[in-house]
Structure 1
Amino acid sequence: MTLRTHARFVTLEGGEGAGKSTVLAALRGAFEQAGIQALYTREPGGTPLAEQIRGLMLDTHHEPAVAETELLLAFAARAQHVRTTILPALESGAWVVSDRFTDASYAYQGAGRGLDAQFIADLERRVVGIRPALTLLLDVPVEVGLQRMRGRGAADRIEGERNDFFERVRQGYRDRAASAAESERFEVIDASQTVDAVAAQAVARLQAQIARVLR
């Protein structure tokens, strides 16, 4: 399968407590103001079956998944998500905004768990087949993000990881965004700024992508 970039596909990435929900609301407002139809979805999840797989990945009450199991569950959910939710929306002419996508596997299971990036790339090409044209990476220091998470309820299996795991995840995201092969589609946003400043930068980058597609 050929890995192709889709111009109307936008993803949000970042570690725990980065503020993706706030930015998603700002992007939704920008699309509505422009009169553009968009689908908003998330990973793991986005379909009934993929949401069940999400539960398996994040539930703290069953045996811990080894890194390879976690990765394959993520891609099983992603395959279902792409074919039953994302591609039909794109083919209908809508834009799609996903809270996390394949970059999360490179960051969490690759950098975080230590799995081989080439293995992840092979799965991306064989199982997923598409990539976003724009990825908004909300970058925040680990301690700041985890502080924001406190008080939100019980942590899931990944949220309960140690700080050094999240430091590796953050660095994995930053390295990917800086790489020659990926940097053009990334907009790295300092998510320790005010909510308004983060939202404004995200919306400005989205509007630039909309203008690029429509011209």
Structure 2
Amino acid sequence: MAGTFVVLEGGAGTGKSALLDALSGEFTRRGISIETVPEFAEASVGEFVADELDRGDGQQFQERACSLSAGMLANCCYQAETVINDALETNEIVLTERYLDSVAVYNLPLVEQRSGSTFPPIIDATDRALPVSPDLTVLLTMNDQTRRERFRNDRPELLEQGSVPDRFSQRQARFRERLAGRDDVLIFENDDSLETAAATLAEEINRER
């Protein structure tokens, strides 16, 4: 069996983790075999990245831009080579959140700001070197009203405060720019209830398989 590899992308607060779990249940109810792969590898490389993100702050992320970017890339490579590749042999769908496009959107800009160097080719080179590539990348978006309501309830730290730049909009714009023109991309507005969104997106994914 050669399954379909699907990645959920989008800025913080777009509902990737919740939708990942809901899609797993939705596809299972439909009799479609699915495996969800966590963002961080259950190995030392995943633990390093998760710990850096959990304990760090903006200044630390800037100071460790190269090591964090390399760690994120290594995490994606580990998942692809040791988990995703095998899962695609035994499941119709393999689903994860945040993959190489997230490294390009979140991490490489920090390297560029600090050093003045640009590194986009490293993402595409890594993708070509791996044994698997996403068959479908789903960029989650939501309208401004939904975003503010969800952030207020679930992620208040992500709301703009005073002159702090709207990093959410900036990152969503980077995602759109990076994904523009690709035929393996689906833009999905995640504004409905979780149950409705999962059912709708499951239909969209089935059509793209």
| Fold shared, TM-score > 0.5 on shorter chain | yes
SS of equivalent to 1:22 = helix
Residues 63-74 of structure 1: pairs in structure 2 closer than 5 A: 64-65=60-61, 66-74=64-72
2:123 maps to which residue?
A: 120
Question: Among residues 170, 173, 179, which one is paired with 2:175 in the alignment?
Answer: 173
Which structure is higher in helix share? Answer: 2
Length-normalised TM-score, structure 1 = 0.74
Q: What is the alpha-carbon distance in structure 1 between the residues aligned to residue 110 and residue 171 of structure 2?
A: 5
RMSD: 3.1
Q: What is the alpha-carbon distance in structure 2 between the residues aligned to residue 204 and residue 58 of structure 1?
A: 33
SS of equivalent to 1:132 = coil
SS of equivalent to 1:12 = strand
Residues 119, 21 of structure 1: alpha-carbon distance in 2 compared, 3 angstrom cutoff: closer
Question: Among residues 99, 102, 105, which one is paired with 1:104 in the alignment?
Answer: 102
Shift of residue 202, structure 1, vs aligned partner: 1.1
Residues 70, 29 of structure 1: alpha-carbon distance in 2 compared, 3 angstrom cutoff: same
Q: What is the alpha-carbon distance in structure 1 between the residues aligned to residue 47 and residue 65 of structure 2?
A: 19
1:130 maps to which residue?
A: 132
Give deviations 1:142-170, integer Å, cap 9, x for gaps: 785476345658979xxxxx544433311
Tell me if structure 2 keeps the 8 A contact 1:111–1:172: no
SS of equivalent to 1:131 = coil
User: What is the aligned-residue identity percentage?
Assistant: 25
Residues 129, 169 of structure 1: alpha-carbon distance in 2 compared, 3 angstrom cutoff: farther
2:43 maps to which residue?
A: 48
1:189 maps to which residue?
A: 188
Q: What is the alpha-carbon distance in structure 1 between the residues aligned to residue 144 and residue 120 of structure 2?
A: 22
Tell me if structure 1 keeps the 8 A contact 2:49–2:68: no
Tell me if structure 1 keeps the 8 A contact 2:26–2:198: no
Q: What is the alpha-carbon distance in structure 2 between the residues aligned to residue 146 and residue 113 of structure 1?
A: 30
Residues 194, 61 of structure 1: alpha-carbon distance in 2 compared, 3 angstrom cutoff: closer
Residues 130, 51 of structure 1: alpha-carbon distance in 2 compared, 3 angstrom cutoff: same
Q: Structure 1: any 5+ residue segments left out of the alignment? A: 1-5, 157-161
Question: Among residues 147, 150, 170, which one is paired with 1:148 in the alignment?
Answer: 150
Residues 197, 177 of structure 1: alpha-carbon distance in 2 compared, 3 angstrom cutoff: farther
Length-normalised TM-score, structure 2 = 0.76
Q: Structure 2: any 5+ residue segments left out of the alignment? A: 113-117, 159-163
Shift of residue 25, structure 1, vs aligned partner: 3.1
2:33 maps to which residue?
A: 37
2:161 maps to which residue?
A: none
Letter aligned with residue 140 of structure 2:
L
2:76 maps to which residue?
A: 78
Question: Is 2:19 the partner of 1:23?
Answer: yes
Q: What is the alpha-carbon distance in structure 1 between the residues aligned to residue 141 and residue 72 of structure 2?
A: 22
Aligned pairs, how many?
195
